């Protein structure tokens, strides 16, 4: 199977997905599809940075900013979420610039970058908890219902009682994220960033503006994650600090992407589907009898995946599939055999 076949297969699956709501799926399957695409959107946003050597453990910060800014402005000021999300995006972008610029300027990479961003996620979580008079603290907050009686949706309040609306809204954003991935993948920035992630000094020596290039992708990733937070809050109609910010969700994002495979376009989405399927299966099978058992198996599987499948599930599958058939373009050695799959950053 070549990459062309894969692309056709992908488009066919996408068409099938777009038709899914017309099949009259129940509430629960629809909810799962929506959540898979929503997390797929967020994971893909993270992976834009992550696969180019900028591993952020702080994307919970941007998720939290998106979710809380919009909900709080709506509840307190009655500002419509569409306007609120513009403000949230501005805040997220400014924060990404504020943290990213010095980080990239002073070459904070690797462990240090991961831990600085992790501090950022914790700061946002703690600020939300500390401002409990406005944010409701650890108990979370619910957007004030904005639907007129009888109406099923309101663009003003960005609330829709019909899941089909959410399905298409989130489908559009998810496809958009894949498109952004594709564009970044084809851009000069990607080549520059890949060079940077291999060796920053060497990249700078051939005229790449390291700080600027990294910053562009980081801000893009932060803004998209922030939008993910807005969508999450408006769809779920409830947010609390633990689920949208802090170390827990930040790690979950990274895990999902690693499980799926961060070097292929659909890898992050695959990770989202996989994590969701795993969580739901375990919840149904064991969750109600022994509290915590589902998370126990979940944690064990994550450890297993990282040790034995470092390229992720989809990454490994695609590598196998595309390698069995002789490829016409590139010699099938190492990662070059995976066609459009960019080579993972190897250790020198």
Partner 1 sequence: MELFDIFLLEAVINGLLLGGLLALLALGLNLIFGVIDVVWISYAELMMVGMYAIFWMYTEQGASLPLAFAFGIALVAILGAAMHQFIVRPVLSAEPINQLLVTGGVLFFLQAAATVAFGVEFRNIGIRLGGVSVADVNLSIARLIAFTVALAAIVATYLFLNRTYTGTAIRAISQDRAIMPLMGVNAGKVYLLTSAMGGALAGIAACLLVLQYDVHPAIGLSFGPITFLICVLGGLGNLVGGFIAAFIFAQFISVGGYIFKIEWGYVMAFGFFIVMMFIKPEGLFAKRR
Which residues in this chain contact partner 1 in the complex, by CB under 8 A?
55, 99, 102-103, 106-108, 110-112, 114-116, 118-120, 122-123, 126-127, 129-130, 247-248, 251, 254-255, 258, 290-296, 298-300, 302-303, 306-307, 310, 345, 347
As measured in angstroms, the least distance from the Cβ of 183 to partner 1 is 25
**Which CB atom, from 204 or from 247, has the smaller least distance to partner 1?**
247
As measured in angstroms, the least distance from the Cβ of 60 to partner 1 is 12
As measured in angstroms, the least distance from the Cβ of 301 to partner 1 is 8
**Which CB atom, from 80 or from 248, has the smaller least distance to partner 1?**
248
As measured in angstroms, the least distance from the Cβ of 263 to partner 1 is 11
**Which CB atom, from 86 or from 108, has the smaller least distance to partner 1?**
108
As measured in angstroms, the least distance from the Cβ of 99 to partner 1 is 7
**Which CB atom, from 80 or from 137, has the smaller least distance to partner 1?**
137
The DSSP code sequence of 127-195 is HHHHTHHHH-GGG-B-PPP-PPTT-SEETTTTEES-HHHHHHHHHHHHHHHHHHHHHHHHSHHHHHHHH
Is the C-alpha dihedral spanning 258, 264, 268, 273 positive or negative? negative
**Which CB atom, from 25 or from 293, has the smaller least distance to partner 1?**
293
239: phi then psi, degrees, rounded to nearest 5: -135, 145
Cα separation, 114 vs 254, in Å, equals 11
**226: its two tokens:** 């922030």
Cα separation, 43 vs 224, in Å, equals 10
Largest CA distance in the chain: 64
Is residue 17 within 8 Å of residue 171, measured between CB atoms? yes
As measured in angstroms, the least distance from the Cβ of 166 to partner 1 is 29
Hey, which residues does 141 pair with through a beta bridge? 239
The owner of tokens 């633990």 is 242
**Which CB atom, from 167 or from 305, has the smaller least distance to partner 1?**
305
């Amino acid at each position: 199977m070549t990459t062309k076949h894969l692309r056709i297969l992908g488009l066919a699956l996408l068409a099938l997905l777009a038709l899914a709501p017309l099949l009259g799926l129940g509430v629960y399957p629809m909810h799962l599809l929506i959540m898979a695409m929503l997390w797929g959107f967020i994971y893909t946003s993270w992976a834009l940075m992550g696969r180019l050597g900028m591993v952020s453990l702080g994307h919970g910060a941007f998720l939290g900013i998106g979710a809380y800014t919009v909900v709080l402005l709506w509840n307190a000021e009655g500002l419509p979420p569409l306007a609120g999300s513009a403000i949230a995006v501005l805040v997220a972008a400014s924060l990404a610039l504020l943290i990213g610029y010095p980080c990239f300027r002073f070459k904070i990479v690797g462990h240090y970058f991961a831990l600085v961003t992790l501090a950022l996620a914790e700061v946002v979580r703690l600020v939300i908890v500390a401002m409990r008079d406005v944010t409701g603290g650890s108990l979370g907050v619910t957007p004030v219902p904005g639907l007129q009686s009888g109406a099923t949706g309101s663009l003003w309040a960005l609330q829709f009682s019909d899941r089909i609306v959410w399905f298409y809204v989130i489908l559009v954003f998810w496809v958009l994220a894949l498109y952004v991935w594709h564009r970044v993948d084809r851009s000069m920035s990607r080549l520059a960033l890949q060079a940077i992630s291999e060796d920053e000094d060497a990249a700078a020596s051939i005229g790449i503006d390291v700080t600027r290039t990294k910053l562009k992708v980081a801000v893009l990733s932060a803004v998209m994650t922030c939008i993910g937070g807005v969508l999450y809050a408006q769809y779920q109609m409830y947010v609390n600090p633990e689920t949208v910010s802090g170390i827990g969700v930040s790690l979950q994002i990274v895990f999902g992407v690693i499980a799926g495979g961060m070097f292929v376009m659909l890898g992050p989405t695959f990770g989202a589907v996989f994590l969701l399927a795993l969580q739901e299966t375990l919840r149904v099978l064991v969750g109600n009898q022994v509290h915590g058992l589902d998370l126990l198996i979940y944690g064990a599987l994550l450890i297993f995946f990282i040790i034995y499948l470092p390229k992720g599930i989809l990454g490994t599958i695609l590598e196998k599939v595309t390698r069995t058939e002789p490829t016409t373009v590139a010699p099938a050695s190492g990662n070059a055999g995976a066609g459009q799959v960019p080579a993972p950053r190897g250790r020198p």
